[in-house]
């Protein structure tokens, strides 16, 4: 005999940062909400683990800078409610002065009146000792930026509602009431939100669509040892940094000051190699690490140019690298949040937006850049 399904207003699938914040917001709206997670929490299989993330307003596109305006307010609220700490370190942005992303980021920051210091070649070393500004590069500081303690934030937000971890979703049956069957139970809900990171398309297969999230990539998260402890530390006011392009690479290189691991600076390449999230460790490409070694030895002379620790993280990229925040094309009671290759800092805003979509409210931001229909040509071939 069929066991009775448990009834919810909303089931959120995937308890990473986006799903956790969505469930948190739904619970605040007094919706009976269930958050499902396939692995035992906390885990390091997806995209939301690790101790620190950069929080910044420095983007080329206005929409992200504006969303982060609200993001800061929501993180501040969480600091009060849950004792989550934000360190204001500033973010150093460097890149070719007149081409690529650097001038766009500079323009967006100034236009949106974000407190910004433009550094000159002459005063760069006063502000940023122990770092080399490449020939022809501009540099600026987004003074509002800093470091988020990611795992603490996640734990704080997950305290809110009902979470079932170690429950993998086996089936989703769309309908006016959606039936969700997991390895541990059966549930039904008037609304479902899918925030499953690299596993999004495996779930969407149950609902008859595939998004062009063809790029699930594994990032090697590298930690580099300081030759003299503390040189690049938070206490020395060393900032986070992003290099928009360099001799070594067209992709971003980003770094965070030493803090989470004593005497180790986290520096990563913002791209990785295509990986099946269920077989992550079979991906052993280290060409990104070679690029980082060359950059570190040329531009950050106070670090040993060989990573001391390497961890991994998954990114899920859409073709245009913008998020997906939208209704399922065929079922208006299924909402999808995906494509977060740079999404942790947006967690509170995205949770709020996915909650608004799920409740049928007008979203607080214009979501046209994040709609699924922009992929129509790619999606026809995907199905």
Residues known to be catalytic: 49, 52-53, 266, 270, 313, 345
| Number of H-type helices and E-type strands within the chain | 9, 20
Distance CA 132, CA 121 (A): 10
Farthest-apart Cα atoms in the chain, separation: 77
For 196, what's the count of Cα atoms within 13 Å in the CB-facing half-sphere?
26
Which residues partner with 268 through β-bridges?
254
Stated as kind and residue range, the H or E segment containing 131 is: none
Q: Are 307 and 297 in contact (CB under 8 A)?
A: no
The residues, ordered by sequence, that sit 6+ positions from 294 with a Cβ below 8 Å of its Cβ are 247, 248
Q: How far apart are CA 366 and CA 230, in angstroms?
A: 43
Q: Taking CA 53 as the corner, what is the angle to CA 72 and CA 116, rounded to the nearest 5 degrees?
A: 55
Are 243 and 254 spatial neighbours (Cβ–Cβ below 8 Å)?
yes
Q: Is 111 helix (H, G, I), strand (E, B) or coil?
A: helix
Beta bridge partners of 310: 222
Residues in CB range of 67: below 8 A, 6 or more apart? 346, 349, 365
Q: Residue 130 carries which DSSP code?
A: T
Q: What is the DSSP letter of 258?
A: B
**Residue 334 CB-half CA count within 13 A:** 26
- Residue 347 has phi, psi (to 5 degrees) of -45, -55
Task: Find the DSSP H helices in 47-188.
Answer: 62-82, 102-111, 124-127, 150-158
H or E segment to which residue 8 belongs: strand 6-13
CA 47 – CA 340 distance, rounded (Å): 9
């Amino acid at each position: 005999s069929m066991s009775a399904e448990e009834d919810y207003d909303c089931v959120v699938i995937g308890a990473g940062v986006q799903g956790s914040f969505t469930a948190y917001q739904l619970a605040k709206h007094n919706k009976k909400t269930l958050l499902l997670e396939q692995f035992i929490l906390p885990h390091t299989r997806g995209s939301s683990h690790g101790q620190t993330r950069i929080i910044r307003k420095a983007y080329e596109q206005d929409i992200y800078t504006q969303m982060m305006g609200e993001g800061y307010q929501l993180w501040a609220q969480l600091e009060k409610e849950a004792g989550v700490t934000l360190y204001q370190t500033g973010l150093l942005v460097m890149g070719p002065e007149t081409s690529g992303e650097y001038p766009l980021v500079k323009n967006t920051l100034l236009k949106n009146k974000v407190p910004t210091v433009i550094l000159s070649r002459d005063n760069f070393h006063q502000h940023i000792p122990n770092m080399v500004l490449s020939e022809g590069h501009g540099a600026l500081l987004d003074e509002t930026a800093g470091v988020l303690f990611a795992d603490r934030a996640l734990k704080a937000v997950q305290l809110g509602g009902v979470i079932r971890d170690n429950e993998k979703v086996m089936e989703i049956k769309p309908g006016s009431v959606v039936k969700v069957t997991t390895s541990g139970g059966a549930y039904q809900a008037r609304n479902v939100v899918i925030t499953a990171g690299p596993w999004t398309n495996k779930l969407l297969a149950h609902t008859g669509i595939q998004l062009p999230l063809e790029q699930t990539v594994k990032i090697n998260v590298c930690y580099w040892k300081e030759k003299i402890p503390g040189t690049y530390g938070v206490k020395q006011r060393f900032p986070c940094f992003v290099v928009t392009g360099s001799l070594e690479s067209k992709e971003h290189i980003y770094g965070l000051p030493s803090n989470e691991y004593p005497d180790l600076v986290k520096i990563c390449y913002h791209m990785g190699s295509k990986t099946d999230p269920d077989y992550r460790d079979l991906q052993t490409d280290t060409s990104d690490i070679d690029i980082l070694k060359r950059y570190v030895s040329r531009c950050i002379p106070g670090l040993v140019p060989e990573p001391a620790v390497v961890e991994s993280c998954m990114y899920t990229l859409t073709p245009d690298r913008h998020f997906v925040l939208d209704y399922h094309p065929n079922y208006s009671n299924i909402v999808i949040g995906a494509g977060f290759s740079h999404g942790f800092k947006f967690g509170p805003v995205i949770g709020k937006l996915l909650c608004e979509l799920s409740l049928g409210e007008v979203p607080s931001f214009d979501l046209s850049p994040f709609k699924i229909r922009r992929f129509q040509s790619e999606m026809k071939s995907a199905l």
